Amino acid sequence: MSVSIEPLIRVPLAELQALLQQVFQRHGCSEAVAGVLAANCASAQRDGAHSHGVFRMPGYVSTLASGWVDGRAVPEVNDVAAAFVQVDAKGGFAQPALAAARQLLVQKARSAGIAVLAIHNSHHFAALWPDVEPFAEEGLIALSVVNSMTCVVPHGARKPLFGTNPIAFAAPCAGHPPIVFDMATSAMAHGDVQIAARQGEQLPTGVGVDAAGEPTTDPQAMLDGGALLPFGGHKGSALSMMVELLAAGLTGGHFSWEFDWSQHPGAKTPWTGQLIIVIDPAKSTATPFSYRSAALVEQMHAAGLSRLPGQRRFIERELSSDRGVSVTEVQWLELQGMLERQVDE
Amino acid sequence: MSVSIEPLIRVPLAELQALLQQVFQRHGCSEAVAGVLAANCASAQRDGAHSHGVFRMPGYVSTLASGWVDGRAVPEVNDVAAAFVQVDAKGGFAQPALAAARQLLVQKARSAGIAVLAIHNSHHFAALWPDVEPFAEEGLIALSVVNSMTCVVPHGARKPLFGTNPIAFAAPCAGHPPIVFDMATSAMAHGDVQIAARQGEQLPTGVGVDAAGEPTTDPQAMLDGGALLPFGGHKGSALSMMVELLAAGLTGGHFSWEFDWSQHPGAKTPWTGQLIIVIDPAKSTATPFSYRSAALVEQMHAAGLSRLPGQRRFIERELSSDRGVSVTEVQWLELQGMLERQVDE
């Protein structure tokens, strides 16, 4: 999905990120939180992951204005055990909670061989791959799950229960960028459904249902009281269930159906939990992992795969580095406009 | 898939297990290895998981006779770090390797909060859920992946590379049996394709391709030089890739395409690796996990799900406990026959 039919401009990454930081601070985020969110959002835009880039900013502004999320929350890190870290995000965003615990998590993973970070009382409104990719850049393997908000009908059920509940994975790969994927366990990510609705596109069958629970190809019908379906039938549905159990059940975060934002008009961010597992492959006595993953990549190319998971993002990233990050003119003007508006509007 | 069209008998679990133990020993397994494999195979049959029950025995006998797997291997457990255990299965089966390391793994998970077991130089020919379910019965969460043998075409590729690469998950649930799933990342498990072929059934489109790489609904064509497809398109394919990286790349086991059994006619068992991650939810300061997972189950029922993942197995298990384990007359005779045959035939 792309927004390239509209006129584009190219902006240096640092400039985009600085503007986003200003917008976040203008709308109630502390400098620390704004810095983390701006870097996250700018990197999604840089990588062509448009459903989680600048496209998300009106939602961030709206949810901050609603009082639903605390843009100034200071996460509380709890060192629970040799390989277990828990963070109370204090009703703020998940990314600053991860940032606060990250060093301890890496230290534990390197010492114990594996470590887990359980975040609760957190809002996650971004792509999941930026949470795992940096671990792979340090030679670690990372797996993360986050639940979201009820909008997916479990396979065989009559009404929605699960969130889009993505799973993201990152692993180092010698001589290549990290191997990274980030997949909604729904047939399509919610942001992509929103983009399709905005552009008046139809979606394939099997993506979602309308308000009556009937199959539809109209993204707007899925958003207006309808719902999404899991990817891959009962298997994707089981994975989505696992995400609820790990990201909410284990962490102490809310399940996707447990929060009530009806008193906060404009609230957009699911108030749930997130789990991140980090493994240090250097603990294995086998051939260095990154050489093994490079061998896998070689075989995947030999089998005829022209593009590996995550590869499109790295190509876009290089383009953005050469020419600046691509943003539509309309989006750029909207971002400027967000600087003008009052926090309490 | 079911074999109930053939005449059935009911055998007490202990009797079936004892017979299987004798068969394994008769065909070259040590008493310890035979005990582990017999318990595993009998429990699959007990739970109605026929593709991994008695149906597997001719394959076990054939692979043992071929000299491809060592039925007397003594696994070597290596205590690597506070939360990392590695086992060299010494060319034997994966289940005895897990059994040898299990106590240490549980001890580490309870102490560190999470722990990982990396098995390599192992053969896995069984269902994966019996490896994870016992952890849930002890109040722990377990996730396991095992790669197998090249028979799945990565999404977007031209030829097979991955194995059927299952993912299994188990979690405790207050007042309920554990929540357990075990899914091939292929559109169908290899054993189920074999059963369909034997019964002359056709399969849905999207399950596999023939030797020319063309879509087919004939399971025999998939087995005769054809291949399977991943479930859920590019997402299932990415998960299958992750299984290769974790079960082989990380453990030091072979990737699904790396072993050559051509010098061992009758060899059936993939010589790869397996990863098991165990989490102790008691480390989380949240509401006890098993109450949270029970709340999830309640909501899934309320959403209209009549059957949860793994539930069919628990229903069959109860039936088997009341009436004995269901085996076809033909299978029972075959098992008796396996006792007669010489090891070296």
Q: Where are the domains of chain A?
A: 1-65+310-345, 74-186+230-309
| Residue contact A245–B171, C-beta within 8 A | yes
If we measure between CA atoms, which residue out of B45, B25, B6 comes closest to residue B324? B45
Report the distance separating Cα A144 and Cα A135, nearest Å. Answer: 11
A120–B157 CB contact, under 8 Å: no
Dig out the tokens for B115 from the structure.
């722990």
Angle (CA) B154-B159-B161 rounded to 5° is 55
Q: What is the rounded distance in angstroms from the CA atom of residue B232 to the CA atom of residue B238?
A: 10
Q: Which tens digit of pLDDT belongs to each residue from B99-135?
A: 999 999 999 999 999 999 999 999 999 999 999 999 9
Using CB atoms, which residue from A249, A293, A299 is nearest to B292?
A249
Of A111, A114, A300, the CB nearest to B157: A300
Counting Cα atoms < 13 Å in the Cβ hemisphere of A60 gives 30
CB contact under 8 Å between A113 and B83, yes or no, is: yes
Question: To the nearest whole number, what is the mean pLDDT of chain B?
Answer: 95
Residues in A closer than 8 angstroms to B231, CB to CB, are 232-233, 235-236
Give the DSSP H or E segment for A8. strand A8-11
Over 60: is that where the pLDDT of B89 sits?
yes
| CA atoms B29, B35, B36, B38: torsion sign | positive
Query: Number of CB pairs < 8 Å for A and B?
Result: 222
User: Per the CB < 8 Å rule, is A83 touching B115?
Assistant: yes
Considering only CB atoms, which chain B residues are within 8 Å of A141? Answer: 245-246, 250
Q: Which residues of A touch B115 (CB under 8 A)?
A: 83, 114
For the beta carbon of residue A91, count every other beta carbon within 10 angstroms.
16
**Min Cα–Cα distance to chain B from A146, Å:** 16
**Measured between alpha carbons, how far is B125 from B121 in angstroms, rounded to an integer?**
14
- The span from the CA of B150 to the CA of B129, in Å, is 21
Which of the residues of A are catalytic? 51-52, 192
Contact B135, B104 (CB under 8 A): no
Residue owning tokens 């797996």: A143
Q: Where are the beta strands (DSSP E) in chain B?
A: 8-11, 76-81, 84-93, 114-123, 141-146, 167-171, 179-183, 208-209, 215-216, 227-228, 271-279, 325-328
Helices (H), chain A: 13-26, 31-46, 57-65, 94-112, 129-137, 190-198, 219-223, 233-243, 289-302, 311-323, 329-340
Q: What is the pLDDT of residue A239?
A: 98
Structure tokens at A94: 């998940």
- Which chain B residue has its CA at the smallest distance from A153's CA? B303
Q: Do B183 and A238 touch (CB under 8 A)?
A: yes
- Tell me how close the Cα of A345 comes to any Cα of chain B, in angstroms: 36
* Those residues with Cβ within 8 angstroms of residue A107's Cβ, 6 or more apart along the chain or in another chain: none
| Strand bridging mode B215-216 / B271-279 | unpaired
Q: Which residue of B has its CA nearest to A292?
A: B249
Residue A185 has φ and ψ, to the nearest 5°, of -85, -5
Residue B55 has pLDDT above 60, yes or no: yes
Distance CA(A149)–CA(A240), nearest Å, equals 12
DSSP string, B188-236: S-HHHHHHHHHTT----TTSEE-TTS-EE--HHHHHTT-EE-BTTHHHH
* Contact by Cβ (8 Å): A294, A176: yes
From the list A161, A280, A284, which residue is nearest B303 (CB)?
A161
Domain B187-229's class? Answer: alpha beta
Helix (H) or strand (E) holding A143: strand A141-146
> Is the CB of A305 less than 8 angstroms away from the CB of B156?
yes
Which of A245, A275, A290, A301 is best to mutate for the B interface (most B CBs within 10 A)? A245
**Smallest Cα distance from A301 to chain B, Å:** 8
pLDDT confidence tier of residue B286, bands split at 50, 70 and 90: confident
Residue to test with chain B: of A250, A272, A306, A311, most B Cβ within 10 A:
A250
**In the beta sheet, which residues pair with residue A118?**
A86, A275
Q: Which residues contact B315 (CB under 8 A, 6 or more apart)?
A: none
For residue range B300-345, list pLDDT tens digits in order: 999 999 888 888 899 999 999 999 999 999 999 999 999 986 544 4
Architecture category of domain A74-186+230-309 in CATH: 2-Layer Sandwich (3.30)
Listed as ranges, residues in chain A with pLDDT below 70 are 1-5, 341-345
With beta carbons less than 8 A apart as the criterion, state whether A10 and A323 touch. Answer: yes
Residue whose entry in the numeric block shows the structure tokens 């453990």 = B251
Predicted local confidence at residue A191, as pLDDT: 85
* Nearest-CA distance A293 → chain B (Å): 6
pLDDT of res. B190: 87
Percent of chain B at pLDDT > 90 equals: 91
Residue B80's DSSP bridge partners are none
* CA A205 to chain CA centroid, nearest Å: 25
Look at A235 and B238 and tell me if their CB atoms are within 8 Å.
Answer: no
Pick the CATH number of B74-185+232-308 from 1.10.3720.10, 1.10.150.170, 3.30.1370.60, 3.40.50.1970: 3.30.1370.60
pLDDT score for B24: 98
Question: Across the interface, do B295 and A255 touch by the CB < 8 Å criterion?
Answer: yes
Taking only the tens place, the pLDDT of each residue in A108-147 is: 999 999 999 999 999 999 999 999 999 999 999 999 999 9
| Tally of residues, chain A | 345
Contacts of A107 in chain B (CB under 8 A): none
Q: Which residues of chain A are within 8 Å of residue B207 when distances are taken between CB atoms?
A: none
Residue of B156, B242, B300 with shortest CB distance to A157: B300
> Per-residue confidence at B1, pLDDT binned at 50, 70, 90?
very low
Q: What is the DSSP string of B254-270?
A: PPTTS---TTSTT--S-
Question: Cβ of A251 and B286 within 8 Å?
Answer: yes
Beta bridge partners of B274: B119, B146
Cα B272–B278–B282 angle (5° rounding)?
Answer: 180
For the domain covering A1-65+310-345, report its CATH number: 1.10.1530.10
pLDDT of residue B113: 98
> Which residues of B are known catalytic residues?
51-52, 192
Distance, first Cα to last Cα, chain A: 32
- State the pLDDT at residue B309: 80
Task: Point out the residue among A84, A111, A236 whose CB comes nearest to the CB of B113.
Answer: A84
The distance of A116 to chain B (nearest Cα, Å) reads 7
Whole-angstrom Cα Rg for chain A: 20
- List pLDDT tens digits, range A225-248: 999 999 999 999 999 999 999 999
pLDDT at B39: 98
Select the residue of B83, B157, B303 nearest A304 (Cβ to Cβ).
Answer: B157
At residue B341, the pLDDT reads 63
Answer yes or no: do B141 and A86 touch at CB < 8 A.
no
B238 interaction partners in chain A (CB closer than 8 Å): 169, 181, 183, 309
Overall average pLDDT of the B66-72 stretch: 98
DSSP state of B178: P
Test A250 with B289 for CB contact under 8 angstroms.
Answer: yes
Chain A, nearest residue to B298 by Cα: A161
B79 burial class (0-12, 13-18, 19+ CB within 10 angstroms)? exposed
3-state secondary structure of A315: helix
Determine, for residues B154 and A81 on separate chains, whether the beta-carbon distance falls below 8 Å.
no
Contact B139, B172 (CB under 8 A): yes
- What's CA A198's distance to the chain center, in Å? 20
**Which residues 6+ apart lie within 8 Å of B302 measured at CB?**
none
Give ipTM to 2 decimals.
Answer: 0.96
Q: Do B303 and A236 touch (CB under 8 A)?
A: no
Measure CB to CB from residue A296 to each of B82, B183, B244 and give the nearest one. Answer: B244
- Helix, strand, coil percentages in chain B from 3-state DSSP, rounded to 5: 45, 20, 35
User: Is residue A33 a contact partner of residue A69, using CB atoms and an 8 Å limit?
Assistant: no
pLDDT at residue B280 above 90? yes
